[in-house]
Amino acid sequence: MTETFVSYSLIAVYSAMAIYTLAFVLFAVDLARRSAESSDASAARATGLASASAQQASVMVNGSSAGGTDTLTTAGASESKIVAHSPKSLKLAMAMTVLAWVLHVGAVIFRGVAANRVPWANMFEFTLTATALIVGVFLIVQFWQDLRFLGSFITGFVLIALGVGTSSFYVDVVPLPPALQSAWLVIHVFVASLSTGFFALAASLSIVQLMQARREAGKALKLRFLDTLPAADRLETLAYRLTVVGFVMWTFTLIAGAVWAERAWGRYWGWDTKEVWTFIIWTLYAGYIHARATRGWRGSRSAWLAIVGFLAIVFNFTIVNLFFKGLHAYSGL
């Protein structure tokens, strides 16, 4: 039975990866479309203004002001339309992402059924579950804010992670060692993975924020799709709100981990390598939250901190798990 479910899980995850790839391409197409439309729009705006001033010039002659105002209004409307209407490529990309995610979650569930326990007890399973949570957070956040422009970033990141996970981290289903047989495995690891989802989304917003800030500062950036995205300070606000949710979960992960460590290893804190890096990440994000309340640090500087924080998470998950000696030796590799 186990083998059957394991193969279902793998089929589901490979299918999900194929569809994520399609979604990634469609999201990229959408970004290209935004670039194209934005340059159309600026061209249109330029002509609109030109014709407006031409008409205004004629207004002087005719003594009527109506024509000029009309033209200006039309130009303005066509510009706001870019943001408002949601084109086919983006809708299709989101549909693909949802479909891939359903398969992805299916893979997680099949893996859990195959192992007869929660599917996050080794590197392969961490990767499988954490990426599902990252996409899950991405999808659910859309009900709150339209962040679909992050689609290419998120699906790209998840694809790379799943690629590495299935090829380099794969291990067969084995029973849990006694140290992992605890309710804390369910809680501690799940919350840690979920916070990764929020941090991933926030980091991608911070990256866009940095690009947007450069563009707003007048630096030449040939990424015209940025015209269609929110302003840098708006992106920063969104990134901050997601980070704060992630930070609360990370704090919980730390406390829950300490409680579990006391049960399993006899001490709640022992500067094990994984504990050290969890602490470093916590401190970095605490720094980020403080930076946003410090004059001269709000904006791009704090955005860099959020990105460094997320890099530390990726480092903690990969390099620390694989190469650092410590008690959290559960990669299964």
Q: Which of 39, 186, 263, 322 binds other proteins (CB under 8 A)?
A: 263
Cα dihedral 300, 303, 308, 311, rounded to 10, equals -130
Give the nearer residue to other proteins in terms of CB position, either 49 or 308. Answer: 308
Residue 1 CB-density burial (10 A; 0-12 exposed, 13-18 middle, 19+ buried): exposed
Query: What's the CA gap between 6 and 3, in Å, rounded?
Result: 5
Side chain identity, residue 156: G
Query: What's the CA gap between 34 and 38, in Å, rounded?
Result: 6
Minimum gap (Å) between residue 194 Cβ and other proteins? 16
Distance spanning both ends of the chain, measured CA to CA: 24
Tell me which residue of 211, 207, 189 sits closest to 199, measured CA to CA. 207
Give the nearer residue to other proteins in terms of CB position, either 72 or 231. Answer: 231
Q: Which of 113, 264, 314, 329 binds other proteins (CB under 8 A)?
A: 264
Minimum gap (Å) between residue 165 Cβ and other proteins? 18
Minimum gap (Å) between residue 303 Cβ and other proteins? 13
Minimum gap (Å) between residue 79 Cβ and other proteins? 21
In this structure, are residues 68 and 55 in contact, taking their beta carbons and an 8 Å threshold?
yes
Using rule CB under 8 A, residue 70 touches other proteins: no
- Within 162-201, the residues that bind other proteins by CB under 8 A are 172-179, 181-182
Give the nearer residue to other proteins in terms of CB position, either 218 or 266. Answer: 266
Cα dihedral 118, 122, 127, 131, rounded to 10, equals 20
Q: Which of 42, 54, 62, 265 binds other proteins (CB under 8 A)?
A: 265
- Within 212-241, the residues that bind other proteins by CB under 8 A are 233-234, 236-237, 240-241
Interface map 284-323 toward other proteins (x if CB under 8 A) = x-xx--xxxxxxxxx------x--------------x---
Tell me which residue of 200, 188, 195 sits closest to 250, measured CA to CA. 195
In this structure, are residues 142 and 90 in contact, taking their beta carbons and an 8 Å threshold?
no
Q: Which of 109, 113, 187, 276 binds other proteins (CB under 8 A)?
A: 276
Query: What's the CA gap between 329 and 264, in Å, rounded?
Result: 13
Side chain identity, residue 103: L
Minimum gap (Å) between residue 74 Cβ and other proteins? 28
Q: Which of 102, 140, 186, 259 binds other proteins (CB under 8 A)?
A: 259
In this structure, are residues 89 and 15 in contact, taking their beta carbons and an 8 Å threshold?
no
Instruction: Give me the residues that bind other proteins (CB under 8 A), please.
Output: 2, 172-179, 181-182, 233-234, 236-237, 240-241, 244, 247-248, 251-252, 255, 258-259, 262-273, 276-277, 279-280, 283-284, 286-287, 290-298, 305, 320, 324-327
